[in-house]
Chain A
């Protein structure tokens, strides 16, 4: 053990003297070292392979389906990324979806206008986020505990409020609600201008794109985004340098709940009904997508693009398995394996990269 530690120390010393002479990383190097880039490559390979293997995979209908299916996960992954960057986790997103859908659905069945229903649903979601944020940021409880509690609370509230009924008689605004959830763009002939090879992308997909661009902008260009990363890297340092750590962490949980609410309302519109079981188990898919896209569960790392590409990757795998005729019960095992693999690949810091780790293992066996 001492032997391998000494060797590691020697290696890091060599690195320091090397580094001084080297130029700053080029754009290409940065890209090649990012996990989201390699997930994009893997996704492209998978899509090409599947299109060749299974002609029905590459059809515009399937593209429409896949992009719509992963969009709600992608939207929530954006919120989850914000929380993960601060070094926390939000397990409550799936349950928040259920509560938001039921609150909005209930108001619709009472013949309130759609904007009142959606507004109330959003408020319920934000309240859940504020609850999480308050206990994590200001009371200082572990995010795992607080959001696990909220996972249970929000689902239970959804069941109680709905009287364990499915809500679908949405009153006069039902067509508007459906139109929001089922809208597509661009439309193909005869309704629109798009050529026949172009997929009609869902409103879910476009909301995800807009939200993704907004989150990406915030991460790269604003002080708020910079502070988010600083909190995840060294919360104590961020506090000492005057970053409003508690307030930013609070906002991160509210934003995560906001994303879950938006995803919930889109799904509500798409299905034209509200069930209290909406989003059950989604938190795992969201976390998996986020982590596969390169966010770190230890905090400090993550990107908007990674969140979306990771979610897309999971959904394409799921879709490919179905198309290949593999028993859908294998999906859980595969998702789990990908979470572990993604975290393993994410351990590529100089001291803990897989390469160094393997070398150290062999070195200690020899010694």
Chain B
């Protein structure tokens, strides 16, 4: 049984049809590359799965269960985590505070139910160590490099037992060394049975880690191929429209 099932999904914003009639599925531990030009509907697709808004038509099933998400929190309850392109970090908070934002660890009894800062800092440090990141839990995000910020956003998804992690352009704004680290992390997630959906413009990254590549063009799915049976040239052709469909 597949982890995520997208059936005939479409989304319109007023007169604009961002997506129509999309079908695909994701199995546990699978890494999917979602590619397409600007405006092809990648971000809309991510937001539908992440629960930012419900689809106009069609249905999304997680683990065989039909889901109608209206808020990201609802998708998170089903084990879907997102690393947003802007990373969704609060600059004025520390790394550990950002990792635990919205699900702080508390101790004591009401009305003196207070934050368990020590536990959160230790857990965050442990997550960063797993990610082999030089991020320190007590540092302000404001003072961090692009790679460290990425590590904070990814550490956040590992807090819960996510079944599917959506990553929106995780390698767009970081150094070469950090890209390699992020790709390693994606492989580590896969080895633990976590499915990853990688939205990226960077062809080498997608071919390095993805098992399967889905290509969107102008709101429609034009390809869904195993990485081994395609080539960067074919995918480029599909993205631009030089090749109509495959």
List the interface of chain A (C-beta within 8 A of B).
Answer: 15-16, 19-20, 24-25, 221-223, 226-227, 229-230, 232-234, 236-238, 240-243, 300-301, 349-350
Contact = CB atoms under 8 A, between A and B. Distances in A.
Contact of A230 (B82, B93, B145): B93
18 contacts: A16-B145, A24-B138, A24-B139, A221-B114, A222-B113, A222-B115, A223-B104, A223-B115, A230-B97, A230-B101, A233-B93, A234-B90, A237-B86, A241-B88, A241-B101, A241-B156, A242-B102, A350-B142
A242 B100 CA distance: 11
B21 interface: no
Interface residues of B, number: 31
Nearest to A349: B142
B122 interface: no
Interface string B14-27: 00000000000000
Interface of B: 72-73, 76, 82, 84, 86-93, 97, 101-104, 106, 113-115, 134, 136, 138-139, 142-145, 156
Q: Is the interface of B mostly helix, strand, loop or mixed?
A: loop
A350 B143 contact: yes
Contacts, number: 76
Contact of B115 (A226, A232, A236, A238): A226
The 10 closest A-B pairs by CB, nearest first: A233-B90, A241-B102, A237-B88, A233-B92, A300-B92, A242-B102, A221-B114, A234-B90, A242-B73, A223-B104
Contacts of A221: 114-115
A20 B91 CA distance: 18
B83 to A, nearest CB: 11
Contacts of B82: 240
B82, B101, B139 pick with most chain A CB within 10 angstroms: B101
A236 B101 CA distance: 12
Contacts of B84: 240
Contacts of B91: 233-234, 300
